[in-house]
Amino acid sequence: MAEELPGRDVQADVTGGDALPAAGQPLLRIEGVAKRFGTFRAVDGVSLDIKSGEFFALLGPSGCGKTTLLRMLAGFEAPDEGHILLGGKDIAQALPHERPINMMFQNYALFPHLSVRDNIAFGLKRAGMARAEIATRVAEMVALVKLEGLEKRKPDQLSGGQRQRVALARALARRPQLLLLDEPLAALDKKLRESTQGELMELQRRLGMTFIIVTHDQEEAMTMASRIGVMKAGKLAQVASPRELYEAPRSRWIAEFVGDINLFDGETKLRDGHRLVIGTRDAGALVVAEPREPLGTGKFAVAIRPEKVKLSRRAPVSEAGRETAINLLDGVIADICYLGGTTTYKVKLDSGGMLQASVVNSARLDVDAYSLNQHVVAWFTPDDCVVLPS
Amino acid sequence: MRKVSRLSRFNIASLALGLAFLYLPILILVLYSFNASRLVTVWGGWSLRWYREFFKDRAMIEAAWMSLRVAVSSATIATLLGTLAAVALSRGERFRGRTLFSGMLYAPLVMPEVITGLSLLLLFVALNAERGFWTVTIAHTTLTMCFVAVVVQSRLGSLDRSLEEAAMDLGCNPVRAFMAVTLPLIAPAIVAGWMLAFTLSLDDLVIASFTTGPGSATLPIRIYSEVRLGVKPEINAICTLVIALIAVVIVIASLASKLSSSQGESAAPL
């Protein structure tokens, strides 16, 4: 990281950045944005604030409208309803070339007839920058993405990872106020993807730029973003930090979409201070912690992540009096899935249901491993459960 | 290994047969164009006599010049119109009846030339247009425009739309994005389309004979009328020259499409 960092103060020289927001104001405000294709509502009333310097991820299954939303930010689609305010200025109907926003395309969209250098310089030339200045900026960008020595190559003479870097450098060259990344790592293999994730995060921190990434890969979103917006059927289902999204999903759908989860449907049976007892069909009565917003009564689902479930051969002996607060479920091992770092056991509960438990393989030898059809006790605390409206 | 080599010997044989089927007649024509004898089918030794005859034949030279002018101008107009049509059909907003339009654009590909020629003749007569260079040029433009459109449109279809979007994202308005990115990338297809239009116009007999007027015969018309009176060895010489010209054009066209495929995208179909 010997190269000089491009400073924030020179950001505005290309894109006419008079629109930088005052402190505390969001950089980007999306207000009730909707887009229809025919009768299909691709984006259906999305409102969202993005702070300056944030790394935000739009996460969702394919067809949820996340790419359409991103394309509206870039200017390739015009919203049918709502406003998009960048630094307080409505840009909803502005054309792509009129916005201080750049985008990194999913397939990179590098110009095949131009060299790496000319690809990166493309946007600078359109901005009417002086030749010498363009050369300096291109050299800076090439160093930033570590592509030294490849400036004269054409895109088809580069590897996938190198192409990804050129695309990134090209999008960053104009120093946009906002960088949009459409599935930027989807075309890379797993190892390269992981290292590139780290580099992207590091770059974003150093440049202090605002990134919005679109991805269907929840691990990618969790790793990189400081905040995640989960989209479902054109609507934002939840906007939260990765941890909150995982540990306190707002709905059953989000709980199932993000990570693995055990779900048990049931009804409230008993309220005991901060504890609720929910009678479930598949796992009997479960003691859970009451969520912050009181639930009332009715049908609920108890959700528990597999890694929160502990397994043991006998019921755990705990300090006196605490036993009642623990959910103990008897069962037999029905399926074993060895994943290297962890092993996922499927436990057939005596009460009828199935429970997934993920156990860290902390010892190299399999002394702690369970075998098929072995009787086990699965247990978890009330605080490890999330109660979701059914 | 032996089996493979036997197979490939069979392949070589079939390739040779196929090529002979295609090129033997042409080869004989070229050979006989250097024949010294007045009789077409009797070999009388090597000579350039018939080439000299051709260059002395004013009427034939005029016809060749007419054909060349028609081919160049109709190919140029057809390339312009065909490219515009292809761009409009593959890049424009979806409009009502777009499928119908693209279907209609390609109809002349399969239309019998007699019908195209006759309908154009009727049009020119109705308009009371004097038939000659321009009527043939317009007719050939009609014939070849759809070929250009097909070639250019297939190239546009293989181009990633996001290239234009990237250009716009990086500060180009739509027109500049087209000029800076799309046009250089489809240029090989446009060149190939022009070449195709040029050769089609050069060898067309049917439409030209419908739409030309007295005193402005194209080379194929001229050759055809000469041949009806008996094949003169001079015709062989002319045909050899035409073959040479078309060979050059085809080599350039395939080089152009090779250039386009070396840019990482699929080549124009030629």
* pLDDT computed for residue B57 by the predictor: 87
Strand order, beta sheet including A40-50: A40-50, A28-37, A81-86, A89-90
- Whether A212 and A337 map to the same domain: the answer is no
Residues in A closer than 8 angstroms to B165, CB to CB, are 74, 76, 96, 103, 105, 109
| Secondary structure string (H, E, C) spanning chain A | CCCCCCCHHHCHHHHCCCCCCCCCCCCEEEEEEEEEECCEEEEEEEEEEECCCCEEEEECCCCCCHHHHHHHHHCCCCCCEEEEEECCEECCCCCHHHCCEEEECCCCCCCCCCCHHHHHHHHHHHCCCCHHHHHHHHHHHHHHCCCCCCCCCCHHHCCHHHHHHHHHHHHHHCCCCEEEEECCCCCCCHHHHHHHHHHHHHHHHHHCCEEEEEECCHHHHHHHCCEEEEEECCEEEEEECHHHHHHCCCCHHHHHHCCCCEEEEEEEEEEECCEEEEEECCCEEEEEECCCCCCCCCEEEEEECHHHCEEECCCCCCCCCCHHHCEEEEEEEEEEEECCCEEEEEEEECCCCEEEEEEECCCCCHHHCCCCCCEEEEEECHHHEEEEEC
Residues in A closer than 8 angstroms to B169, CB to CB, are 74-75, 96-97, 101-103, 123, 171
- Long-range CB pairs of A138-142, under 8 A, 24+ apart, other chains included: A138/A173, A140/A3, A140/A4, A140/A6, A141/A169, A141/A170, A141/A172, A141/A173, A142/A116, A142/A117, A142/A169
- Work out the end-to-end distance of chain A between its first and last CA atoms, rounded to an integer number of angstroms: 51
Best probe of the A interface among B94, B169, B181, B260, by most A CBs < 10 A, is: B169
| Last-in-domain residue among A247, A280, A306 | A247
| Last-in-domain residue among A226, A247, A268 | A247
- Whether A105 and A241 map to the same domain: the answer is yes
- Whether A221 and A269 map to the same domain: the answer is no
Taking an 8 Å cut-off on Cβ atoms, the answer to whether B166 and A106 are in contact is: no
Residues in A closer than 8 angstroms to B171, CB to CB, are 97, 123, 126-127, 174
Q: How big is chain B by its Cα radius of gyration, in Å? A: 23
Residue that the structure tokens 């299909």 belong to: A40
B130 at A interface, C-beta within 8 A = no
Which of A97, A126, A156 comes nearest B264 by C-beta?
A156
- Whether A221 and A274 map to the same domain: the answer is no
pLDDT per position as a tens digit, A62-102: 989 999 999 999 999 999 999 999 988 999 999 999 999 99
pLDDT per position as a tens digit, A322-341: 555 588 899 999 999 999 89
ipTM, two decimals, is 0.79
Domain count within chain A? 2
* pLDDT computed for residue B63 by the predictor: 92
Work out the burial of residue B186: count CB atoms within 10 Å of its CB; fewer than 13 is exposed, 13-18 middle, 19 or more buried.
buried
Arithmetic mean of pLDDT over chain A? 87
Q: Is residue A159 part of a domain?
A: yes
pLDDT at A108 over 90: yes
Q: Which CATH superfamily is domain B57-261 in?
A: MetI-like (1.10.3720.10)
B41 at A interface, C-beta within 8 A = no
Determine the average pLDDT of the residues in B76-91.
Answer: 92
CATH number, residue A151: 3.40.50.300
Q: Which domain holds residue A288?
A: 260-389
**pTM, two decimal places:** 0.79
How far, in Å, CA of A39 to CA of A117, rounded? Answer: 44
Taking an 8 Å cut-off on Cβ atoms, the answer to whether A97 and B171 are in contact is: yes
* pLDDT computed for residue A80 by the predictor: 94
B53 at A interface, C-beta within 8 A = no
Q: Is residue A242 part of a domain?
A: yes
pLDDT at B9 over 60: yes
Nearest by Cα to B205 from B218, B214, B196: B218
In the 8-state DSSP scheme, what is residue B244? Answer: H
CA-nearest residue to B186 within chain A is A113
Shortest distance between the Cα of B13 and any Cα of chain A, in A, equals 38
Q: Is residue A1 part of a domain?
A: no
Q: Is residue A89 part of a domain?
A: yes
Torsion over CA: A256, A262, A267, A269 (sign): negative
Check if the beta carbon of residue A303 is closer than 8 Å to that of residue A388: yes
Taking an 8 Å cut-off on Cβ atoms, the answer to whether A126 and B166 are in contact is: no
Shortest distance between the Cα of B236 and any Cα of chain A, in A, equals 44
Contacts of A345 (CB under 8 A, 6+ apart): A311, A333, A335, A336, A337, A356, A357, A358, A359, A370, A376
Chain A residues in contact with chain B using a Cβ-Cβ cutoff of 8 Å: 74-76, 95-97, 101-103, 105-107, 109-113, 122-123, 126-127, 154-156, 170-171, 174
Taking an 8 Å cut-off on Cβ atoms, the answer to whether A95 and B173 are in contact is: yes
Token couple for B145:
């425009």
* pLDDT computed for residue B203 by the predictor: 87
Confidence of residue B6 (pLDDT cuts 50, 70, 90): low
Determine the average pLDDT of the residues in A230-244.
Answer: 95
Confidence of residue B50 (pLDDT cuts 50, 70, 90): confident
Nearest by Cα to A278 from A254, A297, A250, A255: A297
- Whether A151 and A101 map to the same domain: the answer is yes
Best probe of the B interface among A71, A95, A113, by most B CBs < 10 A, is: A113
pLDDT per position as a tens digit, B190-226: 998 999 999 999 989 999 999 998 888 899 999 898 8
pLDDT at A134 over 70: yes
- Whether A240 and A343 map to the same domain: the answer is no
- Whether A240 and A320 map to the same domain: the answer is no
Taking an 8 Å cut-off on Cβ atoms, the answer to whether B165 and A102 are in contact is: no
| Last-in-domain residue among A187, A220, A247 | A247
How far, in Å, CA of A30 to CA of A73, rounded? Answer: 9
Determine the average pLDDT of the residues in B170-194.
Answer: 91
* pLDDT computed for residue B270 by the predictor: 37
B62 at A interface, C-beta within 8 A = no
How far, in Å, CA of B78 to CA of B163, rounded? Answer: 27
Taking an 8 Å cut-off on Cβ atoms, the answer to whether B172 and A113 are in contact is: no
* pLDDT computed for residue B264 by the predictor: 42
Best probe of the A interface among B155, B170, B173, B175, by most A CBs < 10 A, is: B170
Angle (CA) A87-A92-A98 rounded to 5° is 75
pLDDT per position as a tens digit, B116-162: 999 999 999 999 988 989 999 999 999 999 999 999 998 998 888 89
Residues in B closer than 8 angstroms to A109, CB to CB, are 160, 162-163, 165-166
Determine the average pLDDT of the residues in B52-71.
Answer: 91
Token couple for B91:
């890049």
Check if the beta carbon of residue B144 is closer than 8 Å to that of residue B236: no
pLDDT at A347 over 90: yes
The pairing of beta strand A385-389 with beta strand A299-304: antiparallel
Q: Which of residues 152-211 of B touch A (CB under 8 A)?
A: 160, 162-163, 165-173, 176, 180-181, 184-185
Taking an 8 Å cut-off on Cβ atoms, the answer to whether A74 and B169 are in contact is: yes
- Whether A156 and A273 map to the same domain: the answer is no
CATH number, residue A336: 2.40.50.100
Nearest by Cα to B164 from B190, B150, B185, B189: B185
How far, in Å, CA of B90 to CA of A337, rounded? Answer: 50
Confidence of residue B45 (pLDDT cuts 50, 70, 90): confident
